[in-house]
Amino acid sequence: MILDVDTGIDDSLAILLALKTEHVVVEGITTVFGNTSVEQATRNTLQVIGLADAPYEVPVAKGAAGPLFGEWGGPVVHIHGDNGIGNCELPWPEQEPLDEKAADFIVRKVNENPDALTLVFVGPLTNLAIALAKDPSIASKVKRLVLMGGAVKVPGNVTPVVEANIHSDPEAAHRVFESGMPITMVGLDVTMKTIIGKSHLDRLAAGTASARRPQFIGGILSYYFEAYLKQDGFYGSPLHDPLAVAVAVDPSLVQTEEVYIRIETKGELSYGATIADFRRPPERTNASLCTEVDSERFVEYFMNVLSS
Ligand code: BDR
Ligand code: CA
């Protein structure tokens, strides 16, 4: 697996889930702007890797600082804090990022491991769009792209119809969806059904006072839950990014429908919308859209891995 993250509170949980799941090998993590700057996301990623105690080295390649066109809108402080990880502090990372850029890393790894790598993207799709521009042949060499992004039959979380990751770079998303790569879209349609609450937080945060991992998970989730309380009126949160990792590991957690998804790149009210064509027969298909999730089984897996 290669993970691409804009770390981010739920990105941190996704990294920990991937690194702590048995039989999953994370070949590398690439970083991108989004919830926070790419600089901060890279630092957070290295710090979270340090917390995971992975039994192998996980290289990190820094990626895009902004979208293909236009400007980045700035950090999402009200959801992810000033530093992207709910203002929690972690020791300065011992590991350095690679000199290689994220897009080059992706191109190289996919070419070295044809048909073997699952890409899990849980931030804006900018690094992948750049990688595809450098080498379009990678589209037919990845096993699958599992992406967290988009909203089809449910409201968006940035505008009435647009989800945050696609909103951050609609042009990149358009290029990825038109690339021919096999895509599984894990959008708000399913992630908003994976809510955890206070009892989960208590279990995840339990541990000895010196155990940094439960302390960190407790800290970031407390910030996240408060943010959702202010914004949506419930003390808890959906597990957006961890669900994408879980779907890559076990696709039977979701039901999918084969559809043609297009990204709106011209609309004023709908810029970044993920529009799925459900007509039958479809003109063509380019994605497996997740429509249902076994959230009980997913949350159980998440809890078992992250509280161990
Ligand atoms: C997505 O946006 C970011 O805030 C989260 O990390 C997640 O990837 C949810 O819309
Ligand atoms: Ca994210």
Q: Are 44 and 85 in contact (CB under 8 A)?
A: yes
**Full set of structural domains in the chain with CATH:** 2-306 (3.90.245.10)
pLDDT value, residue 280:
85
- From the candidates 11, 167, 240, 241, give the one annotated as an active-site residue: 240
| Closest to 303 measured CA to CA, from 4, 1, 20 | 20
**Quick one: average pLDDT of 54-63?**
95
Ligand 1 midpoint to CA 200 (Å): 20
What stretches of the chain adopt beta strand conformation (E)?
Answer: 2-5, 28-31, 60-62, 118-121, 144-148, 183-186, 195-197, 236-238, 254-263, 274-277, 287-293
Average pLDDT over residues 159-165: 97
239 has pLDDT over 80: yes
Rounded (5°) CA angle 72-77-81 = 130
Q: Is 6 a catalytic residue?
A: yes
DSSP-assigned beta bridge partners for residue 237:
196
Q: At what angle do helices 240-249 and 9-20 cross, to 10 degrees?
A: 20
Query: What would the pLDDT profile of 67-97 be if each residue is shown by its tens digit?
Result: 999 999 999 999 999 999 999 999 999 899 9
Q: What residues contact residue 202 under an 8 Å CB cut-off, 6+ apart? A: none
pLDDT in tens, 10-55: 999 999 999 999 999 999 999 999 999 999 999 999 999 999 999 8
Q: What share of the chain is helix, strand, coil (3-state, %, to 5)?
A: 40, 15, 40
Predicted TM-score of the model (pTM): 0.97
- Overall average pLDDT of the 194-201 stretch: 97
Ligand 1 test: best mutation among 78, 122, 146, most atoms within 8 Å of CB?
Answer: 122
For the beta carbon of residue 228, count every other beta carbon within 10 angstroms: 17
pLDDT number for residue 208: 65
Query: Is the confidence metric ipTM above 0.85 for this complex?
Result: yes
For residue 207, pLDDT over 90 is answered with no
Q: What average pLDDT does range 187-211 have in this prediction?
A: 91
Q: Any idea what the Cα angle at residue 283 is, between residues 277 and 288, rounded to 5°?
A: 55
* Band (308; pLDDT cuts 50, 70, 90): confident
pLDDT digit string, tens, across residues 104-135: 999 999 999 999 999 999 999 999 999 999 99
Atom of ligand 1 nearest to the CA of 35: 4
Ligand 2 midpoint to CA 281 (Å):
34
251-290 tens-digit pLDDT = 999 999 999 999 999 999 999 999 999 988 888 999 999 9
d(CA 277, CA 186): 16
